[in-house]
Amino acid sequence: MVVKSVAINAYQNSMDIRRRMVDNTVANKLQKPQAPVQNFNETLSNSLTKVNDLQTEKKTMIEEFATGKNQNVHELMISLQKAGLAMSMTGAVRSKIMTSYKEIMQMPF
């Protein structure tokens, strides 16, 4: 009996917390004004600038490591992985954009 009431109390407490979180989320969504939406050109330009910055950072870190200015291999490897992942994601997005463009061009009007 005691275990059952403890379990029921824990369940009710968790449901109350969840209900409050949902209420707060809904209230925050209603109160906050939406940020202005960027157009596709701006979004793409900003993304490519970030990828370029990561590539520049990678190049700088490689040069610093090669010259002996920086001996932190961990930061170098993290920088290499970030830049590599950013480039592969950019390539994937480019492929999707090109595929979409080809499909649109093949549509009959």
Domain segments of the chain as ranges = 1-32, 40-106
Q: Judge contact between 71 and 65, C-beta under 8 A.
A: yes
Q: What is the pLDDT of residues 20-70, one digit of tens each?
A: 776 666 555 656 566 677 788 888 899 999 999 999 999 999 999 999 898
Angle between helices 73-106 and 40-67 (to 10 degrees): 150
**In whole angstroms, what is the distance from residue 51 CA to residue 39 CA?**
19
Average pLDDT (78-103) is 93
3-state secondary structure of 71: coil
